[in-house]
Structure 1
Amino acid sequence: MRTRTRLGLAAAVSCAALVTAVGIGRGGHGGVASPLFKPPNGPYVALGDSYTAAPKVPGQSGKPAGCERSDRNYPALVARELGLKEAEFRDMSCSGATTADLFAAQSTDQGTNPAQLSAVSTATRLVTLGIGGNDIGFSSLITTCVQAGVRYQLENRIGDPEPDKAPCKQRYVSGGTDDLAAKIEAAGGRLAGVLHDIERRAPKARVFVVGYPAILPAEGAAGCGHALGLAPGDVGFLRQQEQHLNAMLRSRARATGASYVDTYTPSAGRDACAERDVRWVEPLIPAASAAPVHPSERGERGMAQAVLRAVRTSG
């Protein structure tokens, strides 16, 4: 997903300028190796958006610089744990990427990233793919919800907030029409095409679709909403949309013979509203080196462990 952001009541006047860059272009649990586990006997290629690239997480050494790719993101950690040599690992992930950027070059503020799929070949033996958030416009969705939330908070500074108030949801779901559901379904069709292309390019590769970690909590929506500039009901709305996106990723992966990596379950309670010493995803004003509403280094480690567990148990 995409990067950058800060919002709160004090920043309401400059709200639009501050939120336009929010998006998805963000402690682990140890994995146990299967006694039958065989590490990949060939190259590993990582594809994905900013939740894979890890913008602002040190060190930012990938090229082009505009992809904001960290050498401590989950693909890099997975490659090291598997003992792969430098020549056996290609990280093509790039902040802001959509499924279209897997097939064509992606322009950034600092250079052009080649089509991500160009790194996948018949020699490839392992592929991880973390994509989809930008296809459904999650960046603009969060921006819209934060703007609506700031207005709501300004209008309700006196008295208790209405726990079910969801002004942002009303803009996307009304009259029996769910715009986001349609976008997720369309993204699913594009993802299926990507997975079939990977199979064509690398018929011997094991392919893993990596889901998104928990961004928002299952409980405590009111307090979290205030901290993130969201109306209470929109916290649950956004959480549901992320869950729907992950469900689509899981379904499409299984339908095409790929494996799905669940990073949501192990990150429960480690969302952007959790305590700073346990959370995987940073809030609008990060306390760790990470882009707003993106995984920190702790989050990338957690995602790496989830990927490793999946790889080691896939046979």
Structure 2
Amino acid sequence: MKLSRFAAFSSALLLGGVLALTGAGQAHATDTAQSLDYVALGDSYSSGVGAGSYDSASGNCLRSTRAYPQLWAAAHSPSSFAFTACAGARTGDVTATQLDPLNSATDLVSVTIGGNDAGFSDVMTTCVLQSEASCLARIATARAYVDSTLPGQLDQVYSAISAKAPAAQVVVLGYPRFYKLGGSCLIGLSEKERAAINGASEYLNAATAKRAADHGYDFADVVPVFTGHEICSGAAWLHSVNWTNIVESYHPNAAGQSGGYLPTLTAHA
């Protein structure tokens, strides 16, 4: 959040407190929430893949009514809400197809992006279907991509957002760790593979957080709130391999959206 907006918001809070004491500020909190213009960008973690209840009008973007942007908008009643996040989106898709709702009046932007650029889907396919050695090699390739190429791609997205919505607070949300190590899973990937996948997710988050900070954006880490709810935890907020609906594999379920991503955005917005 830019300093001028923060200062204005602080002043509004102070005024609201004074008005409340005098009985004159009854509608202030509602008015503040309803004055927000909110745009939700990003990939499948923002569109809500895995949460079910997909809007048929969103087609292959699979936008869910249970996705955290929808839940945040329902709870806060912003004056406008645009939801352009799309399943499978990469950084180039955000800049090419998702930014139209942004303008100088936009107050809040949320986004998850970068996992598809780094080859998340191919990593998980390799690890599930091939050997441990192949899995670890594919993860190493993904980490190298995060080092060499992803930072520039994230810069392009973040710069494009700033150009179209220069006054907006931008919240960049990360990705959870996928596995509870030493957990309840008795079959499937090895512990070495699970640890490597967790490490790759944290590596991606660290790179994303650095680029977000360099653009003056808030990075919202979802790892703490997902801890205890990873795959193999017994109370997972993430799908493991879903053979009946493969696209939902390794995505947050409805509880992950409402219990993980929603409060994380709320804490930063």
Hey, what does 2:231 align to over in structure 1?
272
Provide Cα deviations, 1:165-187, integer angstroms capped at 9, x if missing partner: x42354247xxxx4222211311
Provide Cα deviations, 1:9-60, integer angstroms capped at 9, x if missing partner: xxxxxxxxxxxxxxxxxxxxxxxxxx67954733211011111111252321
Q: How does 1:7-86 map to 2 (within 5 A)?
A: 39=33, 41-61=35-55, 63-85=57-79
Shift of 1:308: 0.1
In the alignment, residue 291 of structure 1 is paired with which amino acid?
E
Shift of 1:73: 0.3
Give the Cα–Cα distance (whole angstroms) in 2 for the partners of residues 140 and 40 of structure 1.
41
Does structure 1 conserve the Cα–Cα contact (< 8 Å) formed by 2:50 and 2:248? yes
Q: Gaps (5+ residues) in structure 2? A: 1-12, 15-28
Q: How does 1:123-272 map to 2 (within 5 A)?
A: 123-149=105-131, 166-172=132-138, 178-185=140-147, 186-217=149-180, 219-220=181-182, 224=185, 226-227=186-187, 229-272=188-231
Does structure 1 conserve the Cα–Cα contact (< 8 Å) formed by 2:50 and 2:239? no
**TM-aligned CA distance change 1:287 to 1:170, over 3 Å:** closer
Give the Cα–Cα distance (whole angstroms) in 1 for the partners of residues 164 and 56 of structure 2.
24
Does structure 1 conserve the Cα–Cα contact (< 8 Å) formed by 2:126 and 2:138? no
**TM-aligned CA distance change 1:170 to 1:305, over 3 Å:** closer
Shift of 1:124: 1.0
Shift of 1:79: 1.1
Hey, what does 1:283 align to over in structure 2?
240
- Aligned CA RMSD, in angstroms, stands at 2.3
Q: How many residues align?
A: 238
Provide Cα deviations, 1:236-268, integer angstroms capped at 9, x if missing partner: 111100000011111111111000111111101
Hey, what does 1:7 align to over in structure 2?
none
Hey, what does 2:101 align to over in structure 1?
119
Give the Cα–Cα distance (whole angstroms) in 2 for the partners of residues 246 and 79 of structure 1.
25
Does structure 2 conserve the Cα–Cα contact (< 8 Å) formed by 1:214 and 1:270? no
Provide Cα deviations, 1:154-212, integer angstroms capped at 9, x if missing partner: xxxxxxxxxxxx42354247xxxx42222113112111111111111001110000101
Hey, what does 2:3 align to over in structure 1?
none
**TM-aligned CA distance change 1:286 to 1:172, over 3 Å:** closer
Shift of 1:286: 8.2
Q: Gaps (5+ residues) in structure 1? A: 1-34, 105-114, 150-165
Percent of residue pairs identical = 31
Structure whose residues are more often helix by fraction: 2
Residue 307 of structure 1: which of 244, 251, 265 is its match?
265
Shift of 1:233: 1.1
TM-score normalised by structure 2 residue count: 0.81
Give the Cα–Cα distance (whole angstroms) in 1 for the partners of residues 89 and 268 of structure 2.
24
Hey, what does 1:99 align to over in structure 2?
91
Provide Cα deviations, 1:256-288, integer angstroms capped at 9, x if missing partner: 10001111111012012221xx32112113899
Does structure 2 conserve the Cα–Cα contact (< 8 Å) formed by 1:148 and 1:230? no
In the alignment, residue 107 of structure 2 is paired with which amino acid?
R
Give the Cα–Cα distance (whole angstroms) in 1 for the partners of residues 163 and 254 of structure 2.
33
**TM-aligned CA distance change 1:261 to 1:214, over 3 Å:** same
Further displaced range: 65-74 or 55-64: 55-64
Hey, what does 2:254 align to over in structure 1?
297
TM-score normalised by structure 1 residue count: 0.70
Give the Cα–Cα distance (whole angstroms) in 1 for the partners of residues 65 and 175 of structure 2.
19
